[in-house]
Amino acid sequence: MALWLELASPEIFEVLAVTTVAGNAPLERTTENARRIVEAAGHADLPVHPGCPRPLRRPLTTSAGFHGESGIDGSNLPPAWLHPEETHAVEYLVEMLGQCEEPITIIATGPLTNVASAVAGSPGIVEKIAEVVLMGGSLGRGNVTPSAEFNFHTDPDAAAIVFEAGFKITMLGLDVTRQARATPSRIATIEALGNPVARAAAGMLRYSLEYVSKRGQPGPAVHDVLAPAYLARPELFRTRPAHIRVLAWGETDLGRCVELKGRSPNAEVVEHVDADGLFALLNDRYKRYKRARARNNPWHR
């Protein structure tokens, strides 16, 4: 959903490439899914670079329940017809950032393994990163452990490296993403747009709705889409500066975020979103796909 928002907003985003990482599903699946998503949006020419297949120092633990075994259950998207790029995501990031004339913004919606690997191996690229806008972390209740969010818990070492790297960070954690839930009425509004992208998004949301409704939640939180939405419509959000440290030790605290009071801020923490405004933005952008898909997607005639 985050990618579809970005690709439907060319007046705001110039998407250079997609990099994939193991997270909610293994790397092979997340890479295939990324190709399916960009092709469904009519952007088959957008490069997709597969990245790290596991966290820096720990085994991979995926999350099949919320998104299903495929990682995008409910979307009913056809298989990708093009292969991903051969260049590894980390190599691509290092080369691209080393050659770019203007600083680049990275939108990170999975574990931070690729970004941390690029920064740790080539620290000179830090000055070429304008900002990292990431979905991850929590200063309150977690969703994997009582205190840790999934992306940071999956690779806490990578998250710790990123927050210590020195570039600008905007963090959209569970504290804000849980405020934006796809209720049945919001899902129906997206589905009513009628184009293939909107139907795929609604299908994924309905799959997740069934999962979370068993746990007494009114709808699935649309976690990742808040990252590009923040860049597209910052007036929908409220932020505050903070110094965040990510814990990468201890069995019960892996991935936990701690705010260090009195320290110089190293991040902007997003703490509020206008959820109605967010879904209005999604509907406005997703309805653009009615013409774009038919015109640009080679496998859709």
pLDDT digits (tens, 9 = 90+) for 111-159: 999 999 999 999 999 999 999 999 999 999 999 999 999 999 999 999 9
- Looking up residue 18, the CATH number of its domain turns out to be 3.90.245.10
Which range (7-21, 66-80, 83-97, 259-273) has the least confidence?
A: 66-80
Res. 201: pLDDT tops 70: yes
What residue numbers bound the domain in which 144 lies?
2-296
pLDDT at 65: 65
pLDDT at 184: 97
Q: Is residue 141 part of a domain?
A: yes
Q: Please give the average per-residue pLDDT across 171-199, as a whole number.
A: 98
Burial label for 249, CB within 10 Å (0-12, 13-18, 19+), is: exposed
Region of 271 please: left (phi>0), alpha (psi -120 to 50) or beta. alpha
Contacts 24+ apart (CB under 8 A), 9-14: 9/228, 9/232, 9/285, 12/231, 12/232, 13/228, 13/231, 13/232
Res. 237: pLDDT tops 50: yes
Q: Please give the average per-residue pLDDT across 153-173, as a whole number.
A: 97
Percent of the chain with pLDDT over 90: 88
Q: CB within 8 A of 47, min separation 6: which ones?
A: 16, 17, 18, 85, 92
Q: Judging by DSSP bridges, how do beta strands 18-20 and 48-50 pair with one another?
A: parallel
Catalytic residue among 49, 67, 153, 223: 223
Is 223 considered catalytic here?
A: yes
pLDDT digits (tens, 9 = 90+) for 46-91: 999 999 999 999 998 877 667 888 889 999 999 999 999 999 999 9
Give which of 218, 143, 237, 226 is closest to 177, Cα–Cα: 226
Res. 243: pLDDT tops 80: yes
pLDDT at 300: 46
Helix (H) or strand (E) holding 141: none
Q: Is residue 301 part of a domain?
A: no
pLDDT at 70: 87
- The Cα 4–Cα 38 span in angstroms is 8
Q: Which amino acid is at 55?
A: P
DSSP SS3 for 120: helix
Res. 247: pLDDT tops 80: yes
Q: Is residue 281 part of a domain?
A: yes
Between 282 and 249, residue with greater pLDDT = 282
pTM (predicted TM-score): 0.94
Q: Please give the average per-residue pLDDT across 35-41, as a whole number.
A: 97
pLDDT band at 296 (very low <50, low <70, confident <90, very high): very low
Judge whether 37 and 7 are in contact, CB under 8 Å.
no
pLDDT at 295: 41
- The Cα 94–Cα 125 span in angstroms is 7
- The Cα 29–Cα 106 span in angstroms is 22
Between 252 and 161, residue with greater pLDDT = 161
- The Cα 294–Cα 284 span in angstroms is 18
- The Cα 148–Cα 264 span in angstroms is 23
Q: Is residue 211 part of a domain?
A: yes
Q: Mean pLDDT across the chain, nearest whole number? A: 94
* Total of domains in the chain: 1
pLDDT at 62: 76
Q: Is residue 200 part of a domain?
A: yes
Judge whether 114 and 93 are in contact, CB under 8 Å.
yes
pLDDT at 298: 44
